[in-house]
A and B are shown apart, each in its own frame.
Chain A
Amino acid sequence: MPRRLRRGVLPGFSLTLGITASYLGIVVLFPLAVLGLNASTAGAGGLLAVVTTPRALAAFRLTFGASLLAALVNAAFGLAVAWVLARYSFPGKRLVDALFDLPFALPTAVAGIALTALYGPDGWIGRHFAAHDIHIAYAPAGIVIALVFVGLPFVVRTVQPVLEDVDPALEEAAAVLGAGPGRTFRRVLLPAIAPALATGTALAFARAVGEYGSIVFISGNMPMRTEIVPLLIVTKLEQYDYAGATALAAAMLAISFAMLLGLNLLQARARRARC
């Protein structure tokens, strides 16, 4: 007997499960299985050998480190943006609100070119940094900036509706009881939006890990310094090293999957504790 089979009275379980499972199977699971199978032909030793070369390790470190940093930047600023959009009204708010969807829509290659033009040594912004010998484009900082760009809407768009939904009476109750703005935020508002903030940050992180188009342009792609894992995979493909590319891809997939699953489980537990 399964753990908790709550099928309820609503119809459509078989249908939706059928659609979901078969579509998921065709588009996601089957291809992933093939990848896994291909990777496993190399054997654990072979896999490990490819993944632990210094160049691959550096790429992994950069990919996940920069993604984490970008996700944290997005968490902090995305929360501020969601806060402003949900709670204040100011002229042009609708336009600002719409602009935050832009990174979803702009082809990432275009974003990469634009950011490079902006933060490059000759760019509108990069010029001023270059004058002090600080390089943003063609350096890890540029990668973080590109990743902040592509992950930006996730935090904003997950936190904003939750923040709008928080009962204003809760805040008022806290104020009547004598709590200051800081305490009200920490004890009343943050717990309410924490799950959404975590989801948004996780999605931004996941998106950053998978980003390729924009980074190719801004990173400069120097091995050991500014080379991300997807780029390393492309390099291997261009050298017809399919086994190596597959091993790297499988490793990356496994890490992404484990992190996403962990986060979803954490959220499910939080949800269950709540009710």
Chain B
Amino acid sequence: MAPRSFSRRAVGESTPARLVLVGTALAFLALFVALPVAAVFVQAFDHGVAAYFAAIREPDALAAIRLTLLTAAIAVPLNTVFGVAAAWLMSRYDFPGRNLLVTLVDLPFSVSPVISGLIFILVFGAQGVLGGVLTQLGVKVVFAVPGIVLATTFVTFPFVAREVLPLMESQGSAPEEAALTLGASGWRTFFKVTLPRIRSGLLYGVVLCNARAMGEFGAVSVVSGHIRGETNAASSRGDSLQRISLHSGLRGRLAADAASAGDAGGASSVRRSGRASMSVVVDGLCRRFQRGGPPAVGNVSFSAPDGAITTLLGPSGSGKTTVLRIVAGLEVPDAGSVCVDGRDCTRVPVRERRVGFVFQGYALFPHMSVRENVAFGLEARRVARGETRRRVDELLSLVQLGEFGDRRPSQLSGGQQQRIAFARALATEPRVLLLDEPFGALDARVRVELREWLLRLHEKTHLTTLLVTHDQDEAPEVSQHVVVMHEGRVQQAGAPQELYDRPATPFVASFLGGASALQGRVEGGRAAVAGLHLAVPAGARDGDSFRVFVRPRDVRIAPTTGPSRATNGLVERLLRIGGMARLDVRLPSGEAVAVEVSQIELERLDVHEGEQVNVDLAAAKVFLEDYEI
């Protein structure tokens, strides 16, 4: 999530090491590239600019330039067509002799132009294989334009293929296969799917091919830098778009609520911290990724009880992963502190924090076996070899993967990889276990199994655990302490039931249990919404606007008109899911309310789609707005 280029990196080289590396690269550039080129220009303009242009305008020079352009105009398109065809062939099909083919494509790189020239003399020259035929036809190849074109084509032969091949290999053929299933023809697939995807590599290859053919410099420096810049921009743009679309819905509606409710969670967690002993205490964390931009984490405080699982719950982009990474030491906070077991470790480098971290995508080392992955942390801490072997065996049997030690991570299923990631994190006997969306990438059944497995594992280890999730059903299942986050702030912290029953902010009310929101205004000391009158919190004045949050299970419906706090609504949709039924009821105000009842209850009520029902919102939770709608 965090951009890598930002200056405060917790992981990576120290500043002096960086400076040495950058210095080395620049010195190398100066000695081998910049100075020689400078020398070229100094010599070219030695006799003044006028002399330089006069030299260029000489007939010889003009003819040479024309010939160069002609050569490139023939050689480059030919090699481009060949390069794309060869790259497609070598990346999409596996056939005998493939390696030989790759080698042959590379060969012109290593053949001296001298040898290629000699070869063409041998073939087309007067004494050559085809020389006799050509002389009869009156065609001159060697020491003429065709010879130059041929030699250039040979020398520039591999560039396009070499640039496009790795790109095609890394991209895989899934989109092409998708296009075929959609009924596209081979050519259509190529022009609409393949070509756009390899565009950047193809352009770069063509530019290099052209540059080598013409010996032209300006184009390559300008265009190649530009092309790469464009590809970079495209990928990063895609990334941020995805992020925005994930939480834009929530952000738009609730932007103002968060501001009003920012400190509620902090206060309640401080109250709780007096009761149990806390092994992770986070105080006033702030972290901004862009100067002047919105904080990813703004003044976050909470504590995690010793030996328990604490859940950080929130939608994407709420800052929960950033908080977890700060606790691990993978991010440096702008302000605030992290205490583990009573010791302030805000400035302790990540390597010395003794935390276990299970990454979202597991981050298993792909080139190491399962055993090597689990042993990595022990070796890094210089644990004796026999002891390492014993611990790895123990951990592999703990995660029930004893027989998979020699496999590569890629040979395991997602659930197995997940358990290896746990084993690797536990190997170093961490003081705290940090889990970043540990079940996010797994299918529903494996997720349920692994959740239970995690609970059993926790019963054995009693390791203080922080778990990040966006899944509101997961939080109460795995932990007794939940911290709800939204837009970089703690909204509320407490036991799952407490949050559910007494949400402190509109966000918590709507996020937990999928509540419907209704707008209303205070009239005569009562909250009027959709023809209903509800009790309002103290301090409400007439004319204040407010919102009501009501969970589907808390709405009562009845077939007849009756109680005073009810009104009519139209059943627009009725969905039966297992033993439950879900109804979308449209109120006269135009607002919709979701209702959930059991199948048995539905049978008793005898309600159907398109019918009017009475809606009772007695259990609704009222929130006053401190802003105008």
User: CB within 8 Å of B: which residues of A?
Assistant: 2-13, 15-17, 19-20, 23-24, 27-32, 34-35, 38, 77, 80-81, 83-85, 87-90, 94-107, 110-111, 113-115, 117-118, 123-125, 145, 148-149, 152, 158, 161, 165, 167-181, 183, 187-188, 191-192, 203, 205-207, 209-213, 229-231, 233-234, 237, 242, 245-246, 249, 252-253, 256-257, 259-261, 264-265, 268, 274-275
- With contacts A12-B88, A105-B217 known, is A152 near B32, CB below 8 A? yes
Interface of A is mostly: helix
Q: CB distance A98 to B85 under 8 Å?
A: no
Q: For residue B28, which residues in chain A have a CB less than 8 angstroms away from its CB? A: 77, 80-81
Q: For residue A87, which residues in chain B have a CB less than 8 angstroms away from its CB? A: 4, 12
CA distance A229 to B111 in the complex (A): 11
Q: CB distance A80 to B428 under 8 Å?
A: no
Q: CB distance B220 to A178 under 8 Å?
A: no
Q: For residue B129, which residues in chain A have a CB less than 8 angstroms away from its CB? A: 34
Q: State which of B89-97, B290-298, B515-523, B571-579 sits at the interface with chain A.
A: B89-97
Q: For residue B166, which residues in chain A have a CB less than 8 angstroms away from its CB? A: 158, 161
Q: CB distance A17 to B89 under 8 Å?
A: yes
Q: For residue B110, which residues in chain A have a CB less than 8 angstroms away from its CB? A: 205-207, 209-210, 256, 259-260
Question: Nearest Cβ in chain B — how far from A206, in angstroms?
Answer: 3
Chain B residue nearest to A111 in the complex (CB): B36
Q: CB distance A207 to B109 under 8 Å?
A: yes
Q: CB distance A6 to B359 under 8 Å?
A: no
Q: CB distance A104 to B211 under 8 Å?
A: yes
Q: State which of B310-318, B375-383, B460-468 sits at the interface with chain A.
A: B375-383
Chain A residue nearest to B377 in the complex (CB): A177
Q: CB distance A274 to B367 under 8 Å?
A: yes
Chain B residue nearest to A109 in the complex (CB): B215
Partner among B104, B114, B363, B368 whose Cβ is within 8 Å of the Cβ of A24 = B104
Q: CB distance B94 to A145 under 8 Å?
A: no
Q: CB distance A35 to B122 under 8 Å?
A: yes
Q: For residue A94, which residues in chain B have a CB less than 8 angstroms away from its CB? A: 225, 229
Q: CB distance A234 to B114 under 8 Å?
A: yes
CA distance A125 to B599 in the complex (A): 89
Please tell me the size bucket of the interface on B.
35 or more
Given contacts A105-B220, A165-B170, 4 further A-B contacts (CB under 8 A): A35-B115, A106-B215, A167-B363, A237-B118
Q: CB distance B225 to A10 under 8 Å?
A: no
CA distance A209 to B108 in the complex (A): 11
Q: Does B267 contact A (CB under 8 A)?
A: no
Q: For residue A256, which residues in chain B have a CB less than 8 angstroms away from its CB? A: 107, 110-111
Q: CB distance A106 to B37 under 8 Å?
A: yes
Q: For residue B408, which residues in chain A have a CB less than 8 angstroms away from its CB? A: 274
Partner among A3, A20, A100, A103 whose Cβ is within 8 Å of the Cβ of B101 = A20
Chain B residue nearest to A192 in the complex (CB): B367
Bitwise, B296-311 to A at CB < 8 A (1) or not (0) is 0000000000000000
Q: CB distance A257 to B367 under 8 Å?
A: no
Q: CB distance A210 to B428 under 8 Å?
A: no
Partner among B81, B109, B189 whose Cβ is within 8 Å of the Cβ of A206 = B109
Partner among B32, B85, B100, B354 whose Cβ is within 8 Å of the Cβ of A145 = B32
Q: CB distance B330 to A99 under 8 Å?
A: no
Q: CB distance A27 to B154 under 8 Å?
A: yes
Partner among B37, B120, B353 whose Cβ is within 8 Å of the Cβ of A102 = B37
Partner among A23, A80, A125, A145 whose Cβ is within 8 Å of the Cβ of B21 = A80
- With contacts A34-B123, A80-B28, A170-B365 known, is A11 near B109, CB below 8 A? no
Interface of B is mostly: helix
Partner among B122, B173, B222 whose Cβ is within 8 Å of the Cβ of A38 = B122
Q: Mark out the residues of chain B between 70 and 89 whose CB falls within 8 Å of any chain A CB in the assembled complex.
A: 78, 81-82, 85-86, 88-89
CA distance A229 to B113 in the complex (A): 12
Q: CB distance B85 to A19 under 8 Å?
A: yes
CA distance A210 to B216 in the complex (A): 20
CA distance A149 to B280 in the complex (A): 55
- With contacts A104-B212, A171-B11, A178-B377 known, is A117 near B217, CB below 8 A? no
CA distance A89 to B464 in the complex (A): 38
Q: Across chains A and B, which 7 residue pairs bring their CB atoms closest together, nearest first?
A: A177-B377, A206-B110, A107-B215, A98-B225, A169-B363, A11-B186, A105-B211
Chain A residue nearest to B232 in the complex (CB): A164
Q: CB distance A102 to B85 under 8 Å?
A: no
Q: CB distance B157 to A28 under 8 Å?
A: yes
Question: Nearest Cβ in chain B — how far from A129, in angstroms?
Answer: 13
Chain B residue nearest to A228 in the complex (CB): B112
Chain B residue nearest to A270 in the complex (CB): B367
Q: For residue B128, which residues in chain A have a CB less than 8 angstroms away from its CB? A: 34
CA distance A229 to B88 in the complex (A): 36
- With contacts A105-B216, A178-B428, A275-B410 known, is A173 near B357, CB below 8 A? yes
CA distance A10 to B185 in the complex (A): 10
Partner among A20, A31, A188, A234 whose Cβ is within 8 Å of the Cβ of B365 = A188
Q: Does B243 contact A (CB under 8 A)?
A: no
- With contacts A7-B93, A99-B29 known, is A118 near B35, CB below 8 A? yes
Chain A residue nearest to B41 in the complex (CB): A114
Q: CB distance B81 to A19 under 8 Å?
A: yes
